[in-house]
Amino acid sequence: MDTAIQQKVNTWLEGSFDQPIKDEINKLLKENPTELADAFYRNLEFGTGGLRGIMGVGTNRMNKYTVGMATQGYGNYLKQSFPGEQVKVAIAHDSRNNSRFFAETAANVFAANGIKVYLFESLRPTPELSFAIRNLGCKGGVVCTASHNPKEYNGYKAYWDDGAQMVPPHDKNVIKEVEKIASVDEVKWSGGESNITIIGKDMDEEYIKMVKSLSVFPEVIERHKDLEIVYTPIHGTGIVLVPEVLKQYGFSRVSIVEEQSKPDGNFPTVIYPNPEEKETMSIGLKKAKELDAAILLGTDPDADRVGIGVKDNHGEWVLMNGNQTAVLAFNYMIEARKTKGIAKPNDMVITTIVTTGMINRIAEKNGVKCYNVLTGFKWIAEMIREKEGKENYVIGGEESFGLMIGDKIRDKDAVSAVAILCEMAAYEKDKGRTLFAKLLDLYVEYGFYKEDLISITKKGMDGQQQIAAMMESYRAQPPKSINGSTVVQLLDYQLQKGHNLADGKEWTIQLPKSNVLQFILEDESVISARPSGTEPKIKFYFSVNTKLASPSEFDKVNKELDEKIRAIISDMKL
């Protein structure tokens, strides 16, 4: 074994670590030294969103010690940032294995440092954590979840006082403080238990009241309260609140997918607990078909992402992608508020640079400001903070199955999204059409936008270097044309520069630095390249659009746009 790795292993065997941990290390030394080396070859990185990794012993794993050290560093920074104030934090967790243990570990460390802790009594959705931070006047918060990752993973998301995940300078500053904690002996593990308050039902009621206030047309729901809805929490936290929220909205025929209703960190019915995946939603699709439902909805383990199934123009059940869901939700909140007479002149919506441009078209035509920010809901939250008191935030979202409706929370919220999507289905039923028919009507009105995404993994130790070289090549020598269409603009978010390739004009992009490149083609196609910050992966996002003369032409034009995206991918040799 590498000397540096062996030294780390010895530190754990000889240090102040629990005996069962040492026993597990000794077992791995004998039976699986390769796995042991992987568990210790580096420290699990506390990134801008917190921790995420495989659970187990070692510095490169999610365990009591990595969570404790992260919490000590985060707690130190909170106390530095709010000197002379009583620092309060809220803590929640999802249904994953060890999530409760990690949440209690974090609570004990914060409390031992004199920080007031509000710990949820049991599992709760991530968006309720964001809401609780604001509701209780906390300076920060933590949710223990690995979102939609496989069952072997867990994570630790850190939040700031506005209920959003941290942005500069706090994200980088917290990382520095976490990195200063060199030993588990620097962590205050216990002694402040009186600083912990258990919360639950009262906060649930406040949160549900907030979600209910987002409803635009409760009278339409009353007319269609028997709308057939199928919902799956995919063994996660959604079961705690979603059925009750739908009941409070007035829906009386909500069928839960029983096989996936029980919270279970082993996610026994799925490979990935991700509502984006057809396999994950297959049991729900089957039930929706049996019941001839109007809509199927699924939420991931921490209930911040939502998947939606509907019947298409041939009456076949299909899953909508994140862009389609966002288009329907944004349009509904703009259109319904206008129809109800509650739209404001300073209404605004927020989307991200890799989400469909169709949202910008809808907002523009309806006289609503639309801001485009970097990928991630922390940037949507930052824009709300910047515009607070001047503009009225209505809805935000991105292509990765996330929506954030109303400004009482500052992270993506699948609980409120489920409620609004069901209200939207009732609203369209009131007009005698389905959600899919509404989507086709929007394509006719605003143009048919079609998106796709591919993720390329470059394996091996030099994977990151290969991706960096790929991005550098695109920067230095951008393609003159892609699939026969001239590249008219190159947007480089790392250099914060826009470049018109025809006349050489340049301008400054007013967004924080991010390693993203976008090619804007003459035919309005958009290709975005975005490397992962944590894995040897690079994502390419494709958006193409054309006119749709009538809904009857959807199948033909849909096929043409599919072929166009395939041709772009082929031309770029991806």
So which residues are the catalytic ones?
147
Q: How far apart are alpha carbons 360 and 365 in whole angstroms?
A: 9
380's enclosing H/E stretch is helix 377-387
Nearest to 306 by CA among 391, 384, 401: 401
Q: Name residue 262's amino acid.
A: K
Side chain identity, residue 396: G
> Which residue has tokens 């629990």?
18
Q: Would you state the structure tokens that stand for residue 26, as one six-digit string?
A: 């000794």
* CB contact set of 59 (below 8 Å; sequence gap of 6+): 8, 39, 40, 42, 43, 44, 66
Round to whole Å and give the CA distance between 530 and 139. 32
User: For residue 239, how many other CB atoms are within 10 A of its CB?
Assistant: 23
Quote the longest CA-to-CA distance of the chain.
Answer: 73
Q: Quickly count: other Cβ atoms within 10 Å of residue 248's Cβ.
A: 15
470, exposed or middle or buried, with CB in 10 Å at 0-12, 13-18, 19+? middle
Nearest to 178 by CA among 69, 60, 51: 69
Q: Nearest CA to 335 among 433, 428, 222?
A: 428
Cis peptide bond prior to 168, omega within 30° of 0 = no
Rounded to the nearest angstrom, the gap between the alpha carbon of residue 295 and the centroid of all alpha carbons in its chain is: 22
Strand partners of residue 539 = 455, 530
> What is residue 341's three-state secondary structure?
coil
CB count in 10 Å sphere of residue 120: 25
> Residue 369: in which H helix or E strand, if any?
strand 369-373
Give ∠ CA 323-228-427 in degrees, rounded to 5: 55
